[in-house]
Amino acid sequence: MDFSFTPEEEKFRDELRTWLEVNLPAGWIEGTYVMPEEDAAKGAFLREWQHKLSEGGWAGISWPKEYGGRGASLIEEVIYEQEMARVKAPPVLNIIGTAMVGPTLLQIGTDKQKEQYIHKILNGEEIWCQGYSEPSAGSDLAAIQTRAVKQGENWIINGQKTWTSYAHFADRCFVLARTEDTGKKHEGITAFLVDIHQEGVERQTIRSINDKRDFNEMFFDNAVVHESDIVGEVNDGWRVGLILLSHERVGVARQTFRLQKLFEELLDLTKNLKRNGRPLIQDPIVRQKLAGFRAETRALLLNYYRHLTETIRNGRPGPEGSIDKLNSSELSQRILSFAISLQGESSLLWKEDALVSPSWQQDYLRAYAHTIEGGTSEIQKNIIAERILGLPKDIKY
């Protein structure tokens, strides 16, 4: 396997690096800029960042050029994620829109839907969220109970969604709702594009263990959506939903490259923290642990490149992505847990009282979500067992 990049691809990287140096907030790359915490200020900051990305041609880079993208190749998407991880760029507020909803509409949306939504998704004028999970339908997505009933040209939606990322900033939601009971869970589901500023939608932020409020509960009480905002056909939502999820292909790349950056930060932490007057990196036990993490992060990266090569060769991602997702999410937990243990009793300190950057504590607590979101570790293990190793499926009782 050849992991080198062509001159054209390196030119793409250089162009992105130059743009980031000019457009990131002053002090961002040096680590002195502090992103706002309060919701309104944070939302305004991230919307402005989305707008900058769009103006620079760095939002939705894989989108066709006629819709405002760059028509980037899969390798260029990977380079993009490498560079964003290198500078720990601000999160893309409209990531659900640019990475999932937009590409789905470009693939199977109507001309009216493309005209109405595509441009606003790219420039951040309309922020999107994703209404999939429910209190009793997380990993088993087909068990959703949110319902939609036809009333003239409209559909009336009632139900609840949970763990909806960035819904408190969002303007619209890609919602899966049950429209018919056939006795088979995967049937009778329809995908809707819902305006969530209407009276029939209530949003409540969920306070996470790391004191962040990025997730939400959403309640639909006779929410109205016009039939023109159905994606695909009525009762074809399961297929449509899988199409949307298939566009999340760079999510694993993002986590893989962030882990390489996380290991570098762990190295710096061991150089700066001292025990008995000596930097922790001089401790043989710490060095042994670092060597192990170095081997694991490198193996994760090379394994990802191997799967990327297969994707390019076959023209589509395969189930091997579950290996990358499983390993990256569990490895991040272990690295962050080790970083916390190095701080000793000081690891209990929070925010401005922390001995080192409080992001270690916050990221450690947030890491437990990595093995849940996007398909739990248990789900990934089943996929690996059944679709890669050829083992029999679980017995259903």
Which carries the bigger pLDDT value, residue 182 or residue 101? 101
What are the sequence ranges of the domains in the chain? 7-93, 128-238, 249-388
Q: Is the pTM of this model over 0.75?
A: yes
Over 90: is that where the pLDDT of 242 sits? no
Give dist(CA 132, CA 3) in Å, integer. 36
The pLDDT tens digits for 137-155 are 877 888 999 999 999 999 9
The more confidently predicted of residues 139 and 162 is 162
Domains 7-93 and 128-238 equal at CATH topology level: no
Query: Which residues fall within 8 angstroms of residue 387, CB to CB, at 6 or more apart?
Result: 319, 322
For domain 7-93, give the CATH number. 1.10.540.10
Specify whether domain 249-388 bears CATH 3.40.50.300.
no
pLDDT band of 251, cuts 50, 70, 90: low
- The more confidently predicted of residues 189 and 250 is 189
- Arch. (CATH architecture) of 128-238: Beta Barrel (2.40)
Tell me: the pLDDT tens digits for 128-138?
A: 999 999 998 87
Q: What's residue 14's pLDDT? A: 97
Enzyme catalytic residues: 248
Residue 65 near residue 75 (C-beta atoms within 8 A): no
pLDDT > 70? residue 38: yes
300-336 in b/e burial notation, b at 16+ Cβ within 10 A?
A: bbebbbebbeebeeeeebeebbbbbbbbbbbbbbebb
Backbone angles phi, psi at 297, to 5 degrees: -65, -35
